[in-house]
Amino acid sequence: MSYLWTTINVNDLEESLKFYQEIVGLPLSSRFQAGPEAEIAFLGDGETKVELIAYKGKEAAPAGKRISLGFSVPSLEEKISFLKEKGISMEGEIIAPNPHSRFFFIMDPNGLRIQFVEQK
CATH of the domain at 30: 3.10.180.10
Q: Where are the alpha helices (DSSP H) in the chain?
A: 13-18, 76-85
The whole-angstrom separation of Cα 21 and Cα 94 is 23
pLDDT tens for each residue of the chain, 120 residues long: 888 999 999 999 999 999 999 999 999 999 999 989 999 999 999 889 999 999 998 888 887 778 899 999 999 999 999 999 999 999 999 999 999 999 999 999 999 999 999 998
Q: What is the pTM of this model?
A: 0.90
Look up the domain containing 10 and give its range.
Answer: 5-119
Predicted pLDDT of residue 112: 93
**Any bridge partners for residue 113, and if so which?**
68, 107
69 neighbors 109 (Cβ within 8 angstroms): no
Predicted pLDDT of residue 53: 96
Predicted pLDDT of residue 62: 80
Number of independent structural domains in the chain = 1
User: What one-letter code names the amino acid at 29?
Assistant: S
